[in-house]
Structure 1
Amino acid sequence: MGDREAEHTVPRTELEQIASKISDLNKWREIFSFHGSEISHTTHQRGQGSAGDGALGAGAPAGTRPSDPPCAVPRALLVPPDTGGQPISLEMATSLRKLLFGNVFHIFSCEWTRAYFRFREPYSDLAYALEAGKGGTRTILMAVQAHIIKYLLFVRNTEYTHLERLCRISRQEQGEALAAALADTLWAAGGDGRAVVCLVTAAVRVTPSRDYKADNFTERIQLFEFSEKAAAQEFIFDHINCFKGEGSHGVILFLYSLIFSRTLARVQEDLDCAATPLLKFSFGNITCTQAVLSLLLTGRASPHQLDGGQEPGPSGAGVEAWRQRVPVGYLRWGRAPAERQVCPWLRTPRLPVWLCGISGRHSVLFGTDSLLLSDWKRERVFHLYFYNGQQEQTTTAHLTIDTHSHHWEEDQSEDPSRPEKRRPSVEMAIRTKWAGATVSWNGTDPFF
């Protein structure tokens, strides 16, 4: 019996050792691959001699030493030293890192450093749409997407109506919409009184110390503060490629701008002195916490801001009740029984645009009728549109919502989570706002 046990024990131990070595090998391969691609990309940029290089000089960037690691951001996307602004300090960089990760030694993954605001083709069915992957940056990209839709549908002056306002836009108009969306979000985080825009310079502004792990990106940040939203929006548009250019680290730059617009101290206050950082590690991925989501939607990084709360008042109850609502709303639904409901004032925004958190993934739901949420008569039968950010989606999904259908004939005692009673997750999210509504996909196969 002992010999038989030994025969099984030895192979199992050897397999565990092999599995451990493979895991370590994959980890180091990713690290070396990432740093190798940075060096290769930067070397390629230096050898191009593009028009963008001329502004910074043909030699090494000012403020760098031969021993400095290369910056992964292309030179054409680095702001010249005479642009102005305030350089980031070691104290600011340290506090920022602690707010994001809870310590000063974690840095962003390849997925995050490669993320930027990339639009679909102009003058197409999805000209308004950003591409969003399945990783942790998706939350930020889709929140900004909601603000882009709000701008294109309800703010921008144009001769087009309905969905034409979204698809008949040029590449320049895509940049204008992105600048407006970023400025709106930063301005709200600044309490409607300030906005801070973070860009990257060639010079290293922070000397790393033993107590801070440099990433060769944060140490090059330059902060530009504005006391007028229009000026911030114009500045962002003038430097829009710093957010939508490949290699720009655009999503990280926007997240930094969001935090500095709110201020490091206020973000810490919003967190209620909690030790929980703004980002969390989950199965090797870096994802946004509810505090980041709250900062994107409400301008405050409160982890409890999205839950509970009081109804802002019935539709049409007065201008003050309407003003209390946020411009972009939030709907959330998950199959987990413990999923908490979103507060009523986020389910009823001023305009019919919602960021949707569906089973942990984010997408956008919107309508083209600006008065939809101001007149209850318009909420009987109406149209909404859905975009999930995935490359596989080639057209905007058109949904018809009927809130006066015969839903009361359903057996209310039956559990909707039962397999035979399950409906598409998007429909369940819609029902958190309009209970019992029926949803028609108008010929499109239901997805998400």
Structure 2
Amino acid sequence: MTISIAEISSSLVREYLSRKGLKKTIVCMDEEHPRTEASVNNRSQLRQMLNLEALYRKSKVNVENSQFKTLLEIIVKHLIDGTTNELDARSLHFNTDDGMALRSQVEVPKTSHTTLLFPEKTQSFAHHKSSLTAHDQNGQGTDVDLKIPVTESKKRNKASRPRRGMMTGPVASTPEESIKKRQIRKAEYNQPLPHNEREKDDEDCLLQTVQSSLYKDHYEFAQGSSAEQLTSQMEKRVQSSLNVSNVNVSEMVLDDIDDEEMQSLPRMFFNKTITRQSWTGCPMDQQTATELKVVLLGSSLNCFSVEWRNQGFTFSEIHDLRYGIVQTKGGPCGVLASVQGFVMKKMLFEDSDGSNCFNKLRPSNSTRRKCLVLAIAEILWRAGEEKQVIVAMNSGSKHFIPAGKYKSDGVLESILLFTLDNQKALEQFLDQHIEQFESTVMGCLLLVVSAVLSRSIDKLREDMDVPTTTLIGAHGYCTQELVNLLLCGQAVSNVFDNDMELDSGNSNLMLLKGIKYNSDIGLLSLFEHYNICKVGNFLKTPRFPIWVVCSESHFSVLFGLQRELLTSHLKEFDLYYYDGLSNQQEEIRLSVCVDRSAPCSDEASELIPPLELCIRTRWKDAAVNWNDTEPIL
């Protein structure tokens, strides 16, 4: 493989970031500077390519330098100390064919390990010693004392010897001795274990193989397979290690790993942040930002309000309302209610955990986050006509300096755009970046921008009755076009079924565009009660018993737990109501009775809650029982 200076340098930076635990920074780096085939993702290989083996061992021995655990810090410390030439002059290498590479500053350990593990090497060592002695007599070398006391091994108790294939436990030893023992473990030994030792070493071999596998996978830093794939690989390795006759001792080497690293391996091994995949994004330019501001706000000189900039998709922590997305201030309620509707669809009718719908209203953190990912993915995939999606992400830094008739507010200037043409890839991408949508910084706006660009601005204007209509209307409220875009994938201006031609006189016909098909999430509007608009059957009878409710210029959500109430003529059923802006503290369960023989309250004699009027646009003359909760007026 051709060595690339640029890729080696990048890999050195990635090793530093990984060692310091800066996972999000690694993700940003991979997005702006993607990895290539020349990238080095293994720490040991990186040390070898940079010829840092001796320097690394010296830093481990030196107590002063032991605090520097990254290769970059070790290099910087070494350059500051100015000992590069001295280290190179003192380094001596033996023949690598003998399986050893000894430095002059590391003395061969005076233990029985040498004769126990390498009995056939004694003669070779003697040869090297004689060669070095002759070399020194000629005045050209440095004397290296290679004392290998063979008799000392006979005095030691056999039970105290480290068995082959066994990782020794913590011992009280000096740093020099630790380096010596590690040097021996690094040598390959290809002879099989004696048959009489195999059975007693089974458990030790299994432990060693698992730990070696954990070490290998951990140091593929911030890159590689998913957690599921790594888990599968681990299971295969453990299974294969049960057959000890197939164990290769050379594969059981544990190299370059500290005790504190080993203790943290299980946690880091399954940490989601180390399995992130790299994606390449394109910075937003001023032209696209200008077009977005015009279609969203009406002018490139307008700015997003605080209510929009500081809204994300965060869930309630109230026990009975854990499924609900919380709205901080008025404005983006149409977006939140639409996403809430799809979250309820995923949570109640598509989750396969086997529990009943009522129990699903108390989701775990992981379940509701998963539902949020799938909900956003479905909204965007539908907006992109199930072909291609553009997802907006906040990079945290500006990509262009506004010029001309454009007023900067720090939102669109910092966006990166990612194009995905596969639904599974979209879900994976959102799962890895869902924190951005949950964030109170631009979380809601990222979804709106993504939906608009996925639909494309040109098609979006074709959807509207009046092409100059904005998606964010007066007082920062969502327009019907924006809600329809999120619910149905098209920014049509009306809620009735199909298109309608309106005769404006003098043979001038105006085409009014409506909903083209049954939506998964429906809509009920108070305007219909006042005969201002007509909600068609496509929205009034969705595929799932979930409705976005438009009442008093505010959007909220109404849903049922039984799909039968859409297909059967049930006389009585329950509906649940959630309003993320109302500071709701308890679950609101409404018992609806559609039995026409039952007496209905007189609207003229008492004040009817607007929500009940919305329900009656779907179930005429329905009686609503609030079940001891205070009616919302």
Same fold per TM (> 0.5)? yes
Deviations 1:161-188 (A, max 9, x none): 1221121x22222211111111111111
Matched, 1:221 2:415: yes
C-alpha spacing 1:424/1:174, structure 2 compared with 1 (3 Å): same
Q: Equivalent residue of 1:93, what SS?
A: helix
Indicate whether 1:157 and 2:348 are aligned: no
With over 3 angstroms needed to count, the CA separation of the structure-2 counterparts of 1:81 and 1:205, relative to structure 1, is farther
| 1:298 and 2:488 aligned | yes
Q: 1:159 to 1:94 in 2, by over 3 A?
A: same
- Give the SS at the match of 2:490: coil
SS in 2 for 1:279: coil
Q: Indicate conservation of the 8 Å contact 1:203/1:220, yes or no.
A: yes
Structure 1 Cα separation of the partners of residues 590 and 323 of structure 2: 18
Work out whether 1:375 is the aligned partner of 2:571.
no
Q: What CA distance in whole angstroms lies between the structure 2 residues aligned with 1:173 and 1:410?
A: 41
How many angstroms apart in 1 are the aligned matches of 2:481 and 2:345? 22
Equivalent residue for 1:288? 478
Residue among 424, 427, 440 paired with 2:609: 424
Q: Does structure 2 conserve the Cα–Cα contact (< 8 Å) formed by 1:205 and 1:219?
A: yes
CA distance in 1, matches of 2:342, 2:312: 16
1:100-249 aligned within 5 A: 100-121=296-317, 124-167=319-362, 169-247=363-441, 249=442
**Distance in 1 separating the partners of 2:28 and 2:455:** 35
Closer/same/farther in 2, CA of residues 134 and 335 from structure 1, 3 Å limit: farther
State the AA in 2 paired with 1:191.
E
Q: 2:286 aligns with which of 90, 103, 106?
A: 90
CA distance in 1, matches of 2:541, 2:390: 29
**Structure 2: how far apart are the matches of 1:391 and 1:281?**
21
User: Which residue type is aligned with residue 438 of structure 1?
Assistant: A
Alignment of 1:399-410 (within 5 A): 399-406=590-597
Matched pairs, number: 355
Matched, 1:350 2:543: yes
Q: Relative to 1, partners in 2 of residues 1:352 and 1:56: Cα closer, same or farther, differing over 3 Å?
A: closer
CA contact 1:308–1:341 (8 Å) conserved in 2: no
The percentage of counterpart residues that share the same residue type is: 29
Do the aligned residues in 1 keep the contact of 2:389 with 2:454 (CA within 8 Å)? yes
**Structure-2 residue corresponding to 1:397:** 588
Q: Which amino acid aligns with 2:310?
A: R
User: What is the CA–CA distance in structure 1 between the aligned matches of 2:558 and 2:539, rounded to whole Å?
Assistant: 13
Which residue does the alignment assign to 1:307? 496
**2:529·2:617 contact (CA, 8 Å) conserved in 1?**
no
What is the CA–CA distance in structure 1 between the aligned matches of 2:600 and 2:368, rounded to whole Å?
45
Quickly say closer, same or farther: Cα 1:138–1:410, change in 2 above 3 A: closer
Q: Using the alignment, how far apart are the partners of 1:287 and 1:176 within structure 2?
A: 28
Task: For residue 334 of structure 1, report the CA deviation from its aligned partner.
Answer: 4.7
Give the partner amino acid of 1:332: S
Partner Cα separation in structure 2 for residue 98 and residue 153 of structure 1: 38
Deviation at 1:54, TM superposition (A): 4.7
**Alignment partners' CA distance in 2, 1:163 and 1:330:** 23
Is the 8 Å Cα contact of residues 307 and 341 (structure 1) preserved in structure 2? yes
Deviation at 1:91, TM superposition (A): 1.7
- Distance in 2 (CA, whole Å) between partners of 1:105 and 1:178 is 33
What code does the residue aligned with 1:188 have? R
SS of alignment partner, residue 619 of structure 2: coil
Whole-angstrom CA distance in 2 between matches of 1:302 and 1:91: 25
Which amino acid in structure 2 is aligned with residue 381 of structure 1?
E
Checking the alignment, whether the CA contact within 8 Å between 1:243 and 1:250 is kept in structure 2 is: yes
- TM score, norm. by length of structure 2: 0.52
For the pair 1:257 / 2:489, whether they are aligned, the reply is: no
C-alpha distance in structure 2 between counterparts of 1:356 and 1:364, whole Å: 6
Partner of 1:316: none
Show CA shifts across 1:327-386 (max 9, x none): 10000115984532312210000110001011211111111112321223xx22111111
Structure-to-structure mapping, 1:37-56, within 5 angstroms? 51=22, 54-55=25-26
Counterparts of 1:57 and 1:301 in 2: how far apart (Å)? 33
Q: Determine the structure 1 residue equivalent to 2:9.
A: none
Name the CA shift for 1:437/1:185 in 2 (closer, same or farther; >3 Å).
same
1:227 maps to a residue whose letter is D
> Which range moves more in the overlay, 90-99 or 429-438?
90-99
Q: CA deviation at 1:126?
A: 1.1
> Does the CA-based 8 Å contact 2:333-2:478 persist in structure 1?
no
Distance 2:517 2:407 in 1: 42
How many Å separate the matches in 1 of 2:588 and 2:600?
26
Residue 521 of structure 2 is aligned with which of 293, 318, 328? 328
Question: Is 1:434 aligned with 2:599?
Answer: no
User: Shift of residue 110 of structure 1?
Assistant: 1.2
By how many angstroms is 1:427 displaced? 1.1
- Superposed displacement of residue 299, structure 1: 0.8
Taking a change above 3 Å as real, the CA distance of residues 216 and 406 of structure 1, as seen in their structure-2 partners, is same
Q: Structure 1 57/340 Cα, relative in aligned 2: closer, same or farther at 3 Å?
A: closer
**Structure 2 unmatched ranges of 5 or more:** 1-19, 34-275, 500-515
Cα gap change, 1:231 to 1:187, in 2 (>3 Å): same
More helix by share: 2
Q: Residues of 2 paired with 1:232 and 1:128: CA distance? A: 23
* Alpha-carbon distance between aligned partners in 2 of 1:53 and 1:297, rounded to the nearest angstrom: 32
Q: Report the Cα offset of residue 56 of structure 1.
A: 8.2
Which of these residues, 441, 448, 459, is aligned with residue 266 of structure 1? 459
Secondary structure, counterpart of 1:163 in structure 2: helix
Is the 2:600–2:623 Cα contact (8 Å) retained in structure 1? no
Give the letter for the 2:293 counterpart: R
Report the residue type matching 1:303 in the other structure: S
Q: CA deviation at 1:273?
A: 5.0
The yes-or-no answer on 1:359 pairing with 2:552 is yes
Q: Deviations over 1:50-107 (max 9, x none)?
A: 946754899xx99xxxxxxxxxxxxxxxxx9963122222221111111111211001
Q: Name which of structure 1's ranges 349-358 and 185-194 shifts more when overlaid on structure 2.
A: 185-194
- CA pair 56-160 structure 1, distance change in 2 beyond 3 A: closer
Higher RCO structure, 1 or 2 (CA under 8 Å, sep 6+): 1
Task: Indicate if the aligned counterparts of 1:281 and 1:287 stay in contact, CA closer than 8 A.
Answer: yes
Deviations 1:190-238, CA, capped at 9 Å, x for gaps = 1122222110124432231112222222112111122222221221111
8 Å CA contact 2:346–2:375 kept in 1: the answer is yes
Letter aligned with residue 279 of structure 1:
I
Distance in 2 between residues matched to 1:265 and 1:437, nearest whole Å: 43
User: TM-score if structure 1 supplies the norm length?
Assistant: 0.73
CA distance in 2: counterparts of 1:245 and 1:279, whole angstroms: 21
Question: Secondary structure in 1 aligned to 2:313?
Answer: coil
Distance of aligned partners of 1:106 and 1:438 in 2 relative to their CA distance in 1, 3 Å threshold: same
